[in-house]
Amino acid sequence: MSRLHSFIGVLTFLSMLLLGCQEKNVLNERIFEIIESDSGKVQSQKLHPIVERMNALKIPGVSIAIIDDFKINNLIALGESDSLNSVTKNTIFQAASVSKYVTAIIVHQLISQGLLDLDTDVNQYLKSWKVPKNDFNQDTPITLRLLLSHQSGLPSTNFDFDKTQGVPTLAQILNADSPAINEPAIPIAIPGSRWSYSNIGYALIQQILEDVTAKSFQQIAKETLFVPLQMSSSTFQYPLPPNFENTEAKPHDKFGQLKPPQLELPAKAQGGLLTTPRDLGKLTIEIMKAYHNDSKIFSKETALRLIHNERKLPFTFYYQKAYMGLGVLLIGENKNIAFLHNGYNSPGSVCIVIGFPEVGKGAVIAANSANGEQLYLEIIATLAHNLNWPNGQFFKQ
């Protein structure tokens, strides 16, 4: 990123604050300085202007929604979305695997409506495709509880396809039929016997939702979440609809080079959401309100199901014990509990959501760079320190 564009990014941010927006500015100028870390592991004594860190990490653009007291109190938009456009509060980023968080909330809403059940064999819901039976699932069926918590026994597989043969259908992806290039949605372990992150498990959830409702996944998301929450900058459609023209943050690799997006596949539930941190902030606030039985959109039961502790994870999340909920990761306990989901899409887009439901604090951060994880860890550490979060200092000196 050039110094000129960095300067323009700062001017854009300052102009946003001077012109004002619905979100109240509650942070002092220290938000411009963030804590530096060594690859997100060890916190240094150094504070740097955020634009300086973006330059050092070759990150073209970043957008941040900061949540405090169940409100979005700051929107920060810096840098470039592509070679021609600056990032604004309306710039749409790839949410990557944060899409799973949104998908899970849709599932919980349909459960609340009586259309789905957590512990029913998913083959009872599937019409256009069925999970094949083998030695692993002959006596132990796959359920939505197991799919949402990555305990289904399905493979972890990423998705690709033979570009010379056209784009595969969702059924071809689940079957691993040409032109799809991935492992099929067939159990490779007994459902419920282990935790193993599974992208194709969420593609299967998409098929369940479409079969149960007889609607496209985009239409389901729109009716269930986007319209009720006024998430007007969110979509699972790609290429983007005409009303989103020139609002897309294009991915960049670790060298800062612009790369074409890779969102052609019809499998969307695992990583196909395009949205803004502001929209994801609205969703996260409403889930935290529901936790306190104070939401007009979600029931308290929906929030409690989402953050129900299903099992301890077989790894630490940035040196903290982590647990799996029904669609989110969990860290901390009791009043310090946080739910979160992060994501990375090749060739270079990252996103993270973190919320502290007891106190109504949190953040959503998106960057159009393969190097974005280190930046969002530094931003989260800074926010945790400056805004007195119960947790979030993922690395310390």
Asked whether 362 and 344 are in contact (CB, 8 A), the reply is no
77: left (phi over 0), alpha (psi -120 to 50) or beta: beta
Q: What is the DSSP letter of 32?
A: G
Euclidean distance between CA atoms 365 and 60, whole angstroms: 14
What confidence score (pLDDT) does residue 25 get? 41
327: left (phi over 0), alpha (psi -120 to 50) or beta: left
Euclidean distance between CA atoms 38 and 203, whole angstroms: 35
Asked whether 208 and 144 are in contact (CB, 8 A), the reply is yes
What confidence score (pLDDT) does residue 338 get? 96
What confidence score (pLDDT) does residue 396 get? 59
Q: Are strands 349-356 and 61-68 parallel, antiparallel or unpaired?
A: unpaired
Q: Report DSSP letters for 68-108, one per residue.
A: ETTEEEEEEEEEBSSSS-B--TT-BEE-TTHHHHHHHHHHH
Work out whether the CA dihedral 280, 285, 291, 296 comes out positive or negative: negative
- Residue numbers in the chain where pLDDT is lower than 70: 1-32, 38-42, 395-397
Half-sphere exposure of 153 (CA within 13 A, CB side): 20
Q: Measure Cα distances from 55 to 50, 59, 80, 280, 317 in Å.
A: 9, 6, 11, 26, 27
Can you count the helices (H) and strands (E) in the chain?
10, 14
Asked whether 302 and 108 are in contact (CB, 8 A), the reply is yes
Asked whether 58 and 371 are in contact (CB, 8 A), the reply is yes
What confidence score (pLDDT) does residue 333 get? 87
360: left (phi over 0), alpha (psi -120 to 50) or beta: left
Euclidean distance between CA atoms 146 and 80, whole angstroms: 40
Q: Which of 279, 285, 307, 280 is nearest to 297 (CA)?
A: 285
3-state secondary structure at position 57:
coil
Euclidean distance between CA atoms 343 and 366, whole angstroms: 9
Q: Cβ contacts of residue 395 below 8 Å, gap of 6+?
A: 37, 40, 41, 42, 43, 318, 319, 377, 381
For the CA atoms of 15, 16, 20, 21, the dihedral, rounded to the nearest 10 degrees, stands at 170
CB atoms within 10 A of CB 104: 24
Give me the helices (H) in 236-394, please: 277-291, 300-306, 372-386
| pTM (2 d.p.) | 0.91
